[in-house]
Amino acid sequence: MRLFSRDKPKIKVQTTKKDGFSGWIKCSECQELIHGNELAQNDNCCPKCDYHYRLSIHERLDNLADRNTFEELFGDICPRDTLKFADTESYGERLNKAREKTQRNEAAIVGTCQVNGRRVALGIMDFKFMGGSMGSVVGERLTLLIEYALHTKLPLIIVSASGGARMQESIFSLMQMAKTSGALAKLHEAKIPYISILTNPTSGGVTASFASLGDIIIAEPGALICFAGPRVIEQTISQKLPEGAQKAEFLLQHGMIDCIVKRRELKKKLAAMLNYVCDNEKSAAEDSQQQRATSNRKRELTLQPMAMRLAFSSGLKKT
């Protein structure tokens, strides 16, 4: 019968699942469904609750720097397993995994760029590389950037995102706290502005050193900023911390940071701050130079009559 002899229709077998929810994710903060494209178009912030997700180094550069102006410095300095440290796996293996994951050789990138046409020295930390931990190379790159800013008189910006000092380097990582702080002290003496931007999370030795030493300290909304995490503190003191403690809003209320700026407004605010601070520094230097010139002129006018009187008196003595 034709019914049973008819060729069977060819059926396409889909190897990937396609449905109406493809590309949708649940927000970590408000638990609402948002689409990945919508998130990307909103500077990686939730369009419903404005929760700020972490940015990669390239995304951060796109957010802050003028297009195609970033020039990397000191990228050839790479970490070494000096202590031959090993826990569940060796430090060398962890470094290799981090390099494969991020396609970078360390947790910090430094260089120069332009922010709304103004050239600055910029450092960015990458949380994806071993939790943004600060090892000897991270500290060295940041210190060299600070010294470069000091030599070239460029304003300095550092974007922090870190779990703290890198335990696999032991004392070598802790030494970076003193090294970066010492370099920033020289920058401060030279009156070169330094703006520190704290993102989620910024903790440990990074918070205890260069991240908290900015002339202006900016935080992103909801960023966790601390030395030790809230769970560790609660276990140590056996007390419950206040609601929202160690969040950017709590720290602003208690004077630990200067302002909270949303990501989409950050570049504009940075440009305004740099214009204000750098122009004021220039005006102060010009005023100081003018005051010195005026002071020298007054001194000359004061000394001239004295010199004339001395010449006259010496002339009287001769006669």
Domain total in the chain? 1
pLDDT of residue 244: 86
Pairing of strands 24-26, 71-73: unpaired
In a domain, 18, yes or no: no
Instruction: Give the predicted TM-score (pTM) of the model.
Output: 0.81
The two structure tokens encoding residue 166: 């890198």
Report the distance separating Cα 256 and Cα 189, nearest Å.
22
Q: 161 near 53, Cβ under 8 Å? A: no
pLDDT of residue 279: 77
Sheet holding 259-260, edge to edge: 71-73, 108-115, 118-125, 156-162, 194-202, 216-219, 259-260
At position 253, the amino acid (one-letter code) is Q
> Domain containing 244: what range?
55-277
In a domain, 215, yes or no: yes
In a domain, 311, yes or no: no
Q: Where is 219: in which H helix or E strand?
A: strand 216-219
Q: 154 near 121, Cβ under 8 Å? A: yes
In a domain, 89, yes or no: yes
Of 124, 135, 133, 146, which Cα lies nearest the Cα of 63? 124
In a domain, 21, yes or no: no
Q: For the chain, list residues with pLDDT below 50.
A: 13-17, 19-20, 309, 316-319
pLDDT of residue 292: 62
In a domain, 303, yes or no: no
Of 202, 168, 145, which Cα lies nearest the Cα of 96? 168
pLDDT of residue 101: 93
Alpha helices (H) in 87-195, listed in sequence order: 91-102, 136-152, 171-189
pLDDT of residue 20: 44
Report the distance separating Cα 245 and Cα 60, nearest Å.
26
pLDDT of residue 19: 46
Taking each helix axis from N to C end, the angle separating 136-152 and 171-189, rounded to the nearest 10 degrees, works out to 10
Q: Where is 268: in which H helix or E strand?
A: helix 263-318
In a domain, 219, yes or no: yes
In a domain, 251, yes or no: yes
Q: Please give the C-alpha separations between residue 212 and each of 87, 131, 191, 208, 287, in angstroms, as whole numbers.
A: 31, 19, 17, 7, 30
- 302: Cβ–Cβ under 8 A, 6 or more apart, which residues? none
- CATH label of the domain that carries residue 152: 3.90.226.10
Report the distance separating Cα 63 and Cα 164, nearest Å.
24
